[in-house]
Amino acid sequence: MKSVKMYAVIGMIILGLCLSCNAMASEEKENKAVETAEKWLTLIDEGKYGESWETAAVYFKNAITKGEWEQTLTTVREPLGKLVSRELKSKTYKTSLPDAPDGEYVVVQFETSFDNKKSAIETVTSMLDREGKWRVSGYYIK
């Protein structure tokens, strides 16, 4: 009877370690995706719209041409003015998103302030590509 209890305790410890490892792996993925989103947003902040398109995920590039992207950001982002502040609001790991192929995604939200818009929410979706690199696959500002 003692050995059964001992095996049960060992099993619980192993299960706990596995769950902890999965949580750490997910946290690491989220952090890498946030870093990718922040670097990508810096390109936009600097007016490097074409470069932001070039570094985006293939999924993103298939959805909008480089010229359309540059025009969209010129129309939507420039009137907001210069960046004042940007703080991480949330990061959520997902394996499925509406209207997107299954994969690994992190939806990142920032509370952002610009010269001409004091309160905005920027949502950047990063996805893990086939080469194992996080790339931006979506951007929305509200």
Q: What is the pLDDT of residue 26?
A: 80
In which domain, by residue range, is 108 found? Answer: 2-141
- The whole-chain average pLDDT of the chain stands at 87
pLDDT tens digits along 35-89: 999 999 999 999 999 999 999 999 999 999 999 999 999 999 999 999 999 999 9
Number of separate domains in the chain: 1
Q: What is the pLDDT of residue 23?
A: 52
121: CATH = 3.10.450.100
Pairing of strands 117-128, 134-141: antiparallel
> pLDDT band for position 24 (50/70/90)?
low
Distances in Å between the Cα of 42 and the Cα atoms of 1, 37, 48, 75 are: 62, 9, 9, 18
Q: What is the pTM of this model?
A: 0.81
Distances in Å between the Cα of 16 and the Cα atoms of 3, 8, 29 are: 20, 12, 20
Q: How far apart are CA 138 and CA 56, in angstroms?
A: 9
Q: What is the pLDDT of residue 25?
A: 63
> Which residues on neighbouring strands pair with residue 93, listed in sequence order?
106
